[in-house]
Chains A and B, each alone.
Chain A
Amino acid sequence: MTQYAMVIDLHKCMGCGACALACKSENNTAMRRNGQTHNWADYQHDMSGTFPKLRYTARPVLCNHCSNAPCVEACPVEPKAMFKTKEGITMHNDERCIGCQACQDACPYSRMECKIGETSVISYNEEGEPYETFYADKTAAIAGGTMSGAELAAKTDNPPHRTKYNHPDYQDVRRDGITEKCIFCEHRVKKGELPYCVVSCPAKARIFGDINDPKSEVSALLKKHKPSVLKPHEGTKPNVYYIREYSVKK
């Protein structure tokens, strides 16, 4: 059985922001609003020690695609809107989702509301609001001289840089009143491509593959290095692993 997983090499990672921004351009995720980050990929930062003996970690975070996924367990819909695919991706079906946010509430890596600096791998699209209000605004900085968001969207799309793709479970731009999260870019993976954050990582610090295939790079890396996962005590069995250290202890 295939189990897709991601290994993040923190030694190679430079915390640059490319993966998170690339994800936003691939999946057209909205901008932060109503306490929802809509960042399917984001970062947690940690600093310890005192000047000048310091240790810093920038840790990329995303949906852990847990083997024991509380979000799936919590989804009250029949059939479930949040479910596991046979390749181990934690998948979300936009159509069946009723927007109850039980998944978001149950996920130990998510928050119902985020303050600046906090992360959440599941976000909620507010009911009754346009997907991206920024491009629905009809005012202009200089009347007649600069554009408005709505004028720009009318001539392009919302968002204007919308990457169009097609997948039976989730849309490239998702409707209001539902939750959304990283789906390991299954629309790409099923076509033989890698998730977009993986191909976009300039450090090649994100490695994706089948953890049950002993010949895969992810398997080799997990064998070579002692991996860690986030919140192991939650018993979620994440499929996002971290190897090596971000910084050198001084």
Chain B
Amino acid sequence: MKIKRRDFLKLSAAGGAAVALTKGKSLNAFAMSKRGAIKGESPGEWKASTCQGCTTWCPVEVFVQDGRAVKVRGNRYSKQNDGNCCPRGHLALQQVYDPDRIKVPMKRTNPKKGRGVDPKFVPISWDEALNTIADQMMELRNNDESEKYALMRGRYTYLRDVLYEIMTKVYGSPNNISHSSMCAEAEKFGVYYTEGQWAYRDYDLDKTKYVLIWGCDPVASNRMIPATIKRLGDAADRGSLAVVDPRYTTSAAKANEWLPVDPGSDGAVACAIAHVMLTEGLWYKPFVGDFKDGKNRFQAGHNVNETDFAEKESYGIVKWWNLVVKDMTPAKAAKLAGVDADQIKRIARGMAKAAPNVCVWMGPGCAMQARGAYNGMAVHALAGLTGGVDNEGGSMQTAKIPVNKAPKAYKEYLDDVAKKKTKYKKIDQRGYLNSPALKKGKSGGGVTTNNAATGILNKDPMEIKMIVGYMNNFVFANNGTEKWEKALESVPFIVHLTSHASEFSMYSDIILPCRINLFERIGFVKTKANGYATCSLNLNTVEPVFRALNEETEFPWLIGEKLKERGFPNLIECLRDVYPDPETGKKATNSMEFTEYALKYYTKKMWDGKEDVGGDKINGWAEMKKRGMWNSDHYEYRKHWGGHFKTETKKFEFYSETLKKALSGHAEKHNTSVDKVLEACNYTARGELAFVPHYEEPMRHGSRREYPFVFIDYKSRLNREGRSANNPWYYEFKHVDPGDVGEQDTLRLNPGDARKLGIRDGDRVRITSTGGSGYSVARLWEGVKPGTVSKSFGQGHWAYGRTAAAEFGKKERGINNNTIIPWELERLSGSNPRNGGHTLVKIEKA
């Protein structure tokens, strides 16, 4: 046995030898005198870029020493994050320097595809990879099957136009399928069909007096994380904080009120808060208006004459009252949602007292449910009732970001085939009777990402023979993973543009290495927070260790060259012609030049000084790249008051004429009624209820008898969306998610529930739903509502890397929530009901 030095010393110390050496001596002064000069940090440079670890899209800076990225911080010029990033920025260093990153193009040599089947990838040259892809594309074109090509987009920059839009269209396919509805379309639905804005909101935390956080933890995820981390404590000092969420989150810990609603029953609570405000005469009258004679006629259970009320900035308050609110008493909602009626009253009164400086912070938790669209409307209606909508200390829309749109001239490069086929229906079946996807009022206006699997499997509206996926992992990130596994197995040729060999890669035929967005990738994003809109550049602060693509621009360029060699020059000529250098007019000669010209084209109004676009004054392209970002002027409050909301009535709609028009239009398209549309979309509302915020009984898959718990999915504050799962620091610091434990895939149970099942803290447990089953580790935590269990999304990979998977390519580490959550849709918006409320599970000790 080897005795190590310290063991030897310990033995010596125990024997007193070492102690004797130092006894009675004061050595500190001596130690001090020997200290040499402190040189400090070695030279390096802070370089600007953008973190896309969540949807905040923070402008950041990377400290670069010797060409290596060593530290990350917020961009010093940012008026959103004030120079600070959240933990995700720091964590990203392990993403860019991940040993499991793909270093060369690869091809599959095992034709058999399936979960756990080894693709037998072998390295190939860039030329072989690009030739193979171009050959496949030409074969489809030559067979008049170009519509059978699909582009699947994951996280993107706004240079997406080139790969997602232009390349797909010029080639001749309708199938550019984005990931958008995996995120928050149902939430946007709620806002659009009340306020007329299809977007996330911004929140004025510096001036708010009451923050109602609903179905998210904005210091951990959602849209403005560093800005909220900085301000939530001060906001709580200044006013009140209430959290409606079945999970005890960090925000809930900080809040005066925590209202643990049953998953999916949010609409009842929101309508009851409205009920209290209306019956007690507490609504914000300068926004909503008042009874003509000033006498409050809102009495529980009683109808009100519309003519007695004069509305100001809103529309339909009395209709909503008569249809829904009059009967949704706090007692009724308390019963439906499993909460305390007094708490509903306290929250309503508290908000009213602070009105109009109220932030109604709606998160995806309430809306991204199988019947969540009306929940989203109900929660956002409270922003109207308190006058906090588009107002100081409340929720805000966005200042304009003066970026250019895709050059229209690209359309001239569509040949007859492309012109015809781009008009075909899309593979996600958007606009079908049961997939209205009513983005911005239009039937089939938005994507229904999860339904693309249905389209592929049913070959409806067409067969898919080739997929190019980029920065996506649809087979892991969509609920109902088994359906996606089968869908991808059926596609003969798949290309994955990716940094890591993820589950999607395991079904692919060619893999091309791509860049990591915070450090290497080139592009730009548009974002808003803290009252400021921002354009932030993604820049190559360091060069990739091995060649890796800026896939949004370089891939179309390189394929365009290869297609030209094969007799189809339209794509490369289009790209070369429509994106000349905006300063010199010079046309690009290679993929990196093209990338730079495209970036300059989109952002030029902010740096070329030709027109006054407001906000930061930036002198030229070099300065823009150095700063990396542009801030707008502060948002102008109440910009949409006075009849400027983009709804049908131009008012904030409690009765949505906008939704009425959209649903009626969709019904007419299918020669049917709105009631039939709602039936096809799994909603219970009929008649006029379809046009107002209301409570719908939550959909649950399975019987309570067999599956007694509602499963809740949440997002870890260390999730760089899905991309940090191979980083050891992710597992090391998982305990920063309240209730979670490091190094394990944690299933949180209420201790009372666990006791009944004989489950103890740390036990391995099996989770089973109607959709799937898997193993994780039980954590008994009082912050879990009895009758629910919760687990953070992110773990359960069987590929992606050797840290993420228990055995790469074969065995998962923990269990993917999307295997437990059965395949489902929120059909009105096209969303993934990703928060899991439709999922019932049983838990067994393994």
Contacts and interface: CB of A to CB of B under 8 A. Distances in A.
A42 to B, nearest CB: 8
A178 to B, nearest CB: 9
A164 B19 contact: no
A31 B718 CA distance: 17
Given A146-B103, A204-B230, A163 B27 contact: no
Nearest to B256: A248
A4 interface: no
B10 A101 contact: yes
30 contacts: A16-B219, A17-B87, A17-B733, A20-B87, A21-B91, A22-B71, A25-B71, A31-B728, A31-B729, A43-B736, A47-B739, A51-B750, A51-B785, A52-B258, A56-B248, A83-B27, A83-B31, A83-B32, A100-B13, A117-B741, A127-B4, A141-B802, A142-B106, A146-B99, A149-B99, A152-B545, A161-B69, A161-B93, A164-B66, A250-B255
A167 B254 contact: no
B782 A51 contact: yes
Contact of B104 (A93, A128, A145, A187): A145
Q: Dominant SS at the A interface?
A: loop
A144 B41 contact: no
B731 to A, nearest CB: 9
B253 interface: yes
Given A18-B87, A190-B40, A117 B735 contact: yes
Nearest to B124: A145
A84, A161, A166 interface centre (most CB from chain B within 10 Å): A161
B738 interface: yes
A225 interface: no
Nearest to A127: B4
Interface in A181-210: 186-188, 190-191, 196, 199-205
Nearest to A156: B68
B545 A79 contact: no
B600 interface: no
A14 interface: yes
Nearest to A250: B258
Contact of B741 (A17, A78, A116): A116
Interface string B91-111: 101101101111110100000
B18 A100 contact: yes
A220 interface: no
B122 A144 contact: yes
Interface string B739-757: 1011110000010100000
Interface string A159-175: 11111111111000000
A54 to B, nearest CB: 6
B196 interface: no
Interface in A113-164: 116-117, 124, 127-128, 134-135, 137, 140-142, 144-149, 151-152, 155-157, 159-164
Contacts of B71: 22, 25-26, 161, 163, 196
A86 B32 contact: yes
A31 B91 CA distance: 13
A188 B63 CA distance: 15
B41 A16 contact: no
Interface residues of B, number: 109
Contacts, number: 298
Interface of B: 4-6, 9-10, 13, 18-19, 21-22, 25, 27-28, 30-32, 34-42, 44, 63, 65-66, 68-74, 81, 84-87, 89-91, 93-94, 96-97, 99-104, 106, 121-123, 219-220, 225-226, 229-230, 232-234, 236-237, 241, 248, 250, 253-258, 260, 501, 511, 545-546, 717-718, 728-729, 732-733, 735-736, 738-739, 741-744, 750, 752, 781-786, 801-802, 808-809
Contacts of A68: none
B733 A247 contact: no
A12 interface: yes
Given A14-B250, A116-B744, A168-B35, A100 B99 contact: no
A119 B532 CA distance: 40
Contact of B70 (A39, A85, A161, A200): A161
Nearest to A37: B732
Interface centre among B70, B728, B785, B809 (most CB of A within 10 A): B70
B35 A141 contact: no
Contacts of B744: 116
A142 B121 contact: yes
A20 to B, nearest CB: 6
B760 to A, nearest CB: 15
A227 interface: no
Contacts of A43: 735-736
A80 interface: yes
Contacts of A247: 253-254
Contacts of B219: 14, 16
Contact of A156 (B121, B122, B248, B545): B545
A35 interface: no
Contacts of B253: 54-56, 246-248
A41 to B, nearest CB: 10
Contacts of A177: 4-6
Contacts of B234: 12
Contact of A100 (B10, B70, B123, B786): B10
Interface string A20-57: 11101110000110000101000101010111101110
